[in-house]
Amino acid sequence: MVKTLQTLIETSRRQYRTMTEMVAATLREAIIGGALGSGEMIRQDQLAAAFGVSRMPVREALRQLEAEGLVEFLPHRGAVVAELKPDEILEMCEIRSLLECHALKKAVPTLSEDVLRRAECVLDELDEENDVARWGEMNQRFHMTLYDNLRGTRLYDLVAAQYQHLDRYIRVTLTQLDYAGKSQAEHRMLVAACRAGDPDRAAEVLRAHLAKSAGAIAELLAGQQALAGAQR
């Protein structure tokens, strides 16, 4: 069940310093979560009314999201939610693999048992999670936990930012994908490899895991394209 924009707005009412911050965070969630669909036109006063603010915080928030690549401005015409191009999914998987394997190699030597246990804890929760949207969120939490010691570095921020983009694609395709259950075994293997303390081996496990997940997505996309072709 995809959360509606209205729900998101009410939830995140009073926990930000400025309206701009609040609107930006909420819209970000809305776009990543699919409440605002790819290519959808964004009417500023409409959004402003929904948030109960003037157009200004909305405009500032949209500019931020533009810089993040989540919306696109067409001068004097309006902003649209950035389009999801299927070909980009696999490219992003590739980038993700490149960055995260590198990050993991750096993180493994510094991993404490405490962090590892926290990661496992997330996995346990993941086992019980059925909601697709929340699954994506927690999958991210699991992986990012392994890089926790890199917090504050550029690399950490970069990995997190990439995750956000990929997540948009994932959540859209994930519904039809029963990969979630299968990937848990690989997640456990990954933690084991990390605990063993060999950076290269851990990175290799991660690479295989990400490649497999990318493969599943590719397969799904191929199926959809075949379907689209048949309809024509």
Partner DNA sequence: ATATTAAATATTGGATCCAATATCAAGGTT
Partner DNA sequence: AACCTTGATATTGGATCCAATATTTAATAT
Binding site for DNA (CB under 7 A): 18-20, 42-45, 53-57, 59-60, 73, 75-79
Q: How far is the CB of 168 from DNA (least distance, A)?
A: 22
54 binding partner (options its own copies, DNA, none; Cβ < 5 to 8 Å by kind): DNA
Q: Looking at the chain, which runs of residues are DSSP E strands?
A: 41-42, 71-74, 78-81
| Token pair of 22 as six digits | 């609040």
**Cβ neighbour number for residue 12 with a 10 Å cutoff:** 16
Applying CB under 8 A, which residues contact its own copies? Answer: 17-18, 20-21, 56, 59-61, 63-69, 75-76, 88, 91-92, 94-95, 98-99, 102, 153-155, 157-158, 165
83 binding partner (options DNA, its own copies, none; Cβ < 5 to 8 Å by kind): none
Task: Report the alpha-carbon distance of residue 150 to residue 147 in Å, rounded.
Answer: 5
Kindly tell me which of 21 and 129 has the beta carbon lying closer to its own copies.
21
Count Cβ neighbours within 10 Å for each residue of 169-182 and write b for 16 or more, e otherwise. Answer: bbbbbbeebebbee
Task: Report the alpha-carbon distance of residue 191 to residue 183 in Å, rounded.
Answer: 13
Kindly tell me which of 51 and 156 has the beta carbon lying closer to DNA.
51
Task: Report the alpha-carbon distance of residue 178 to residue 170 in Å, rounded.
Answer: 12
Kindly tell me which of 103 and 132 has the beta carbon lying closer to its own copies.
103
Kindly tell me which of 38 and 44 has the beta carbon lying closer to DNA.
44
Q: How far is the CB of 51 from DNA (least distance, A)?
A: 8
153 binding partner (options DNA, its own copies, none; Cβ < 5 to 8 Å by kind): its own copies
| Token pair of 18 as six digits | 């400025």
200 binding partner (options its own copies, DNA, none; Cβ < 5 to 8 Å by kind): none
What is the arrangement of strands in the sheet containing 78-81, beginning at the earlier edge strand?
Answer: 41-42, 78-81, 71-74
Of 150, 129, 131, 30, nearest to 82 by C-alpha is 30
Task: Report the alpha-carbon distance of residue 203 to residue 228 in Å, rounded.
Answer: 37
Q: How far is the CB of 158 from its own copies (least distance, A)?
A: 7
222 binding partner (options its own copies, DNA, none; Cβ < 5 to 8 Å by kind): none
